[in-house]
Structure 1
Amino acid sequence: MYAEQSSGSVTVEAGLAHHRAGRLPQAEAIYRQILASEPDRADCIFLLGIASLQVGHHDRALDLFIRAVNLQPRNSFYHSSKAAALHGLGRRDEAIASYQEALLHKPDNLDVHIQLASLMGECGDVAGEEAHYRLALQYAPDHVDTRFNLANLLVRRKQFGEAVSEFRQVLRHRPDFAQAHLNLGAVLFELTAFEECERCYREALRLDPTYAEAYCNLGGLLTKLGRLDEAEVNLREACKLNSSFPEALNNLSELLRLRERPEEAEACCREALRLKPDDVQAQVNLGNALREQGHFHEAESCYRAALDHNAAQPKALNNLGALLLDLGRPEEAIRSLRMAVSRRPDYPDAHFNLGVALLLDGQFDEGWREYEWRWRQDSKKPHLRGFRQPLWDGADIGDRVLLLHAEQGLGDTLQFCRFVPAIAAGRRVVVEVQRPLVPLLAGLPGFETIVARGDPLPPFDLHCSLVSLPGVLGTTLETIPQQASYLRADPQRTAAWRQRVGQLDGLRVGLVWAGNHTMSGDRRRSMPLERFSELADLPGVSFVSLQKGSAAGQSPPPGLVLHDWTEYLHDFGETAALVEALDLVISVDTAVAHLAGALGRPVWLLNRFDRCWRWLLNRDDSPWYPTLRQFRQPQPADWSSALKDVRAQLEKSALEHRTRLDR
């Protein structure tokens, strides 16, 4: 490439010696001295251009490379150096043309293929980028860095299977390449090959115990696998190794939110945003943490800030839609969720939330269809039954056996078991429900067998979840079965409870203040017993605890006498008998509210501001339960106002009860 001629006592080789040693001023002086007597020496012009390029003088370098190219138009190196100068000046299209010219004269120029691939990637020409990486590998199949770059490109193109193959080839040549192990693990994560993914992350950490990104990715994987203790250890290690690591803070924030520590999650998000103010994921995560705490309006601002940076971000659109449901704005929610689905048609969470929004708005036809997307949600996959038998679509089943099975919480089973008798009429039906519900639901008519969840199932040919039945049957607001009651407690048990509660004075009112703390949103639907101080010292009312679980041990506030026989409530059959013996049940949104409604007993629902879809909007009754009345929070977390309304109504009911007894 370089001539070794001399000009007097000065030689190009002498200039090159200085150049290679990093003594650029001395090298430039020699090149200029030679050019003073030989102005068309292309090699000296080229080397002077290289020196200018090295010190960042791209304009000067470009002029020199153009002179060299004009003198030797078939020299591939001169064209590629001209391309580098053009690239440095931001003239990318011209740079691409110069690289392509260089390849015309030397098609096997590996460096040019690599540089051209990188430049095309910058310009968004992903196909061109891939083509040049592959051409480079034709000339140098063992070039690890090029193969690694190709593998990463295939990941961006979502060609995960090919990417895995390329990463494996990289690691065959360089098994100690920690980043390749990490990136292979990330692809395997996308392919849900979680066991091998974990091995890759752990191998990356074995090779580099200070690899913060590997700790971050491993923590994210362990979070998805539900191994939250391990996940937190790894994510905190990532943050410790790199205190300026927004991605690790984001992952840690989501983990803390899942662990019901939203205040800590919020702090992580705010630190991530301090480090990277335009971090869309951190804005979304901050919105999630604030929503979990009931700070809905602040959460809305976060989601909208994320969308200001990226108006088509599906996750932000989905989470905003879900939040707008919490705020009771279903029309806006539906618009946002439809946009999320249009941006990402295979997004299960957005489809599911759209279903919830439509159901909340009373649009049951489309709502039930979208609600079925829940089966594709990551959170639902661990609960899939994996039945080989097909789903029932409502068609005639002849002599085949249909399994109707519980899916979600106890309340859902109590709500949707109403459809069982009509379906079982004229069909062979097996019902599977949660064990505590078996004694009560065994009284439903028509089916052949009832089985406790976890016990062996009898043979069956088709299956359907109880929660899917309204959609299968085409249920609308107008066609919800309107029985005053569709469940009945055992009469002997009810008589025994009536004798016991008959010893209490006044109106006998059952209380439930908390649901299952493991359920999503339980922080907002449940309340501590001490909040019932609004009902303390209420004359003419006797309160009876119906509360089970860890919250049952809470002490009532001063002035509230709570009669507690819950130690005898071993199943819902017994609870139903006690409910039948009471005059009224007051409950947060949990299974006992559904139980009382299904029994046709008066029930007052203490409903959080961000109500569940089944309670609909702008009504204090329920089409599902004719005897249910709602007392809603007027603002998030405002139980006090709801309980004041309850107290006022209880005073009236207690007075009416005394009046009836006095007649």
Structure 2
Amino acid sequence: MEGASGTAGVPTGSMPSAEAIRRAILRLEGAVADSPTSIDARFHLGVLLQADGRRDEAVAQYRQALVLNPFDAHLHNALGIAHHDAGDMAQAMSCFEDALASDPDDPQAHNNMGHLLQVENRLDDALAFFDWALALRPDYPEALNNSGVVRQMQGRLDQAVALYRRAVALRPDYAAAHKNLGMTLLAAGQYEEGWREFEWRWQDAQLAGARRPFTCPQWRGEEAPGRIVLIHGEQGYGDSLQFCRYIPLVAERGLRVVVEVPQPLVRLMRRLPGVEQVVAHGQALPPFDLHCPMMSLPLAFGTTLATIPGPLPYLAADPAEVEIWRRRLVLAAPGDNRPLVGLVWAGAARAGTPDVAVADRRRSMGLAALMPLLDDDRVRFISLQKDAAETEVPPGLGGLIDSAVDFADTAALVSNLDLVISVDTAVAHLAAAMGVSVWLLNRFDSCWRWLRGRDDSPWYPTTLRQFRQARLGDWGDVVKSVRAALAATFTSGNRP
């Protein structure tokens, strides 16, 4: 699952290959050895060390250079970016403040400060810094992109699109702006252009390292009877669960389909019609003629809002496993015949990617926010929150989910439920794809896939209902609405 990409960085243009970076590092290390007081050499060495993943060494070069000139705004910016990339936002903020103190008219420092404020959800303050950066430098693609991200978060999609278009007009190879443009167009329902722009995700720094080095062509939807196509999962589990619906359609075009997904999805994906083989990510792949990332399948099929593949369900649990989990649910609460409602309150933290981790904190709510729901005794609540802390989960919610080893197990458990109430995470996709009713607790700046201004989803038209934040970060009204909906739905123990 992706969020819009903001930019706090030293503008370097197109980054050279890893081998070229290492050769340049060796040359600059020699230059620093020959001239230890060269601020420029240390600065450029730090930039390349950071690009090579040697962040601590980069920080050391920036600090040495700042000893030589404590008032160099570019050095303070570079040091702040290194701290940002390490997830230390407080240190990054301090560095950007030092950059502004050193040069109040430095557009990069204004841009970087705005980015940090956006990460902290201080959106109006962030916009003020981006506006200032653009007043100082109107042709600043990063500031245009970042300003677009904030407006996208605020739901001002037309303004965001205009800013992204300005950014890519100035820099046609600006991958983050292209990707953000794609996601904003998708959020607005403009799928034809949106899917094309979304392909730029593989050039963006967030995903560039995950791009597969396959030499065979990417499948674009053409007829290719008898040829083997590798459909490979990407990004989060929920993305694969949403877009695996296309796999039977690929097989219907005469292709032989091999699917590669993370191990927890393997058993579930084997149940999809048309799949010849499922391989766990990291295992040896069989020979194949074509490949296609899972989230490029909508582009291959020319998907519009009117042609999203159906019908539901398209995923199913093994009936024998469904019965095993039914018995476990009965044994956990003998004689309790109330409707069963599963709860998920947090997504994966993804702490290794600071900006993505921030987006996860916005989509997650914590169990404490859901506690008012637990007062409703018309239903029996079941925790579907994997690996939740024991101290966090009340005994009444049970811990059955922690014995689920993969999504096939989770699917069998979910098959026994009457309703799943979940934040935007993989379990919501799983349940909706299986035909189980889902109430999605959605953040204000929701993911593009949920569109805007609607409480249903064309991806799950009969199974999913959205409860959206009216204000960024406000889960209170969402929970009140869900509580009222529970009371209206489960009257006297009836099932929906």
Q: Does 1:615 align with 2:450?
A: yes
Distance in 1 (alpha carbons) for counterparts of 2:322 and 2:176: 43
**1:515 partnered with 2:309:** no
- Which residue of 392, 396, 418 corresponds with 1:556? 392
Q: Would the alpha carbon gap of residues 507 and 209 (structure 1) be closer, same or farther in structure 2, given more than 3 Å must change?
A: farther
1:497 correspondence with 2:332: no
Deviation at 1:486, TM superposition (A): 0.4
Deviation of the 1:514 alpha carbon = 2.0
2:266 to 426, 438, 441: 438
- Name the residue aligned to 1:545: 383
Matched, 1:303 2:130: yes
Structure 2 vs 1, CA of residues 187 and 563 (structure 1 numbering), >3 Å: closer, same or farther?
closer
Equivalent-residue separation in structure 2 for 1:222 and 1:430 (angstroms) = 39
* 2:181 maps to 1:354: yes
Give the Cα–Cα distance (whole angstroms) in 2 for the partners of residues 366 and 424 of structure 1: 26
Alignment of 1:436-585 (within 5 A): 436-502=264-330, 503=333, 504=336, 506-518=338-350, 520=356, 521-549=359-387, 552-553=388-389, 555-556=391-392, 561-585=396-420
Residue identity in the other structure for 1:632: R
Deviations 1:477-518 (Å, cap 9, x if unpaired)?
Answer: 011023221000111111122222233563322222222211
Q: 1:591 to 1:189 in 2, by over 3 A?
A: closer
CA shift, 1:211, in A, is 4.9
**CA–CA separation in structure 2 for the residues paired with 1:249 and 1:472:** 45
Shift of 1:258: 2.8
Once residues 427 and 322 of structure 2 are traced to their aligned partners in structure 1, the CA distance between those partners, rounded to angstroms, is 16
Deviates more, 1:192-201 or 1:236-245: 236-245
Confirm or deny: 8 A CA contact 1:424 1:447 kept in the other structure: yes
1:222–1:230 Cα contact (<8 Å) kept:
yes
Deviation, structure 1 residue 560: 8.2
Amino acid at match of 2:383: S
Whole-angstrom CA distance in 2 between matches of 1:220 and 1:578:
49
Q: 2:9 is matched with which residue?
A: none
Aligned pairs (5 A) from 1:26-425: 193-209=20-36, 211-239=38-66, 242-425=69-252
Write the distance in 2 (CA, Å) between the matches of 1:600 and 1:506: 20
1:294-324 deviation per Cα after TM superposition (whole angstroms, max 9, x unaligned): 1122212211111111122111111111221
Where do 5+ consecutive residues of structure 2 fail to align? 1-11
Find the partner of 2:472 among 633, 636, 653: 636
The 1:512–1:648 alpha-carbon spacing in structure 2 relative to 1, beyond 3 Å, is same
TM-score by length of 1: 0.67
Contact kept? 1:633, 1:641, Cα under 8 Å? yes
Q: Structure 1: which amino acid aligns with 2:325?
A: W
SS of the aligned residue for 2:286 comes to: coil
Distance 1:544 1:188, change over 3 A: closer
In structure 2, relative to structure 1, the CA distance for the partners of 1:236 and 1:615 (3 Å cut) is farther
Structure 2 residue matching 1:252: 3-state secondary structure? helix
- Preserved contact between residue 512 and residue 587 of structure 1 (Cα < 8 Å): yes
Cα distance in 1 for residues equivalent to 2:446 and 2:163: 19
Q: In the aligned structure 2, how far is the partner of 1:455 from the partner of 1:325?
A: 39
Tell me the CA shift for residue 357 of structure 1.
Answer: 1.1
Alignment equivalent of 1:593, drawn from 419, 428, 431: 428
Judged with a 3 Å threshold, the aligned counterparts in structure 2 of structure 1 residues 660 and 602 are, in CA distance, closer, same or farther, namely closer
Structure 1's 218 and 547: CA in aligned 2 closer, same or farther, altered over 3 A? farther
- Higher relative contact order (CA closer than 8 Å, sequence separation 6+): 2
Deviation (angstroms), 1:614: 0.3
Amino acid paired to 1:247: H
Deviation, structure 1 residue 428: 1.5
Partner of 2:209, secondary structure, is: helix
Paired residues of 1:189 and 1:221 also in contact (CA < 8 A): no
Per-residue deviation at 1:536?
A: 4.2
Letter in 2 for 1:472: A
Q: How high is the sequence identity, in percent, across the aligned residues? A: 46
Quote the Cα distance in structure 2 between the aligned partners of 1:231 and 1:644: 49
* Pair 1:211–1:455, CA change in 2 (3 A): same
The answer as to 2:434 corresponding to 1:602 is no
Instruction: Report deviation, 1:247.
Output: 1.6
Deviation of 1:611 after TM superposition, in Å, equals 0.9
The one-letter code sitting in structure 2 at the alignment partner of 1:644 is K
Distance 2:492 2:409 in 1: 26
Equivalent residue, structure 1, for 2:489? 653
Name the SS of the counterpart of 1:353 in structure 2: helix
- Which structure: greater helix fraction? 1
Deviation at 1:531, TM superposition (A): 2.9
Deviation (angstroms), 1:240: 5.0
SS of the counterpart of 2:386? Answer: coil
For residues 57 and 399 of structure 2, what CA distance do their matches in structure 1 show? 40
Asked if the contact 1:534–1:640 (Cα under 8 Å) also holds between the matched residues in 2, the reply is: no
TM-score by length of 2: 0.89
Residue of structure 2 in register with 1:123 after alignment: none
Q: Distance in 2 between matches of 1:188 and 1:644?
A: 49
1-structure distance, mates of 2:390, 2:467: 23
How many aligned positions are there?
472
- Residues 564 and 317 of structure 1: CA distance in aligned 2, closer, same or farther (over 3 Å): same
2: distance between equivalents of 1:660 and 1:202? 70
User: Per-residue deviation at 1:607?
Assistant: 1.4
Residues 188, 194 of structure 1: 8 Å contact kept? no
| Alpha carbons of structure 1 residues 629 and 223: separation in structure 2 relative to 1, 3 Å | farther
Q: Partners of 2:64 and 2:481 in 1: how far apart?
A: 50
Inter-partner Cα distance in structure 2 for 1:506 and 1:220:
60
Unaligned runs of 5+ in 1: 1-185
Separation in structure 2 between the aligned mates of residue 218 and residue 211 of structure 1, nearest angstrom: 11
Residue aligned with 1:429, SS: strand
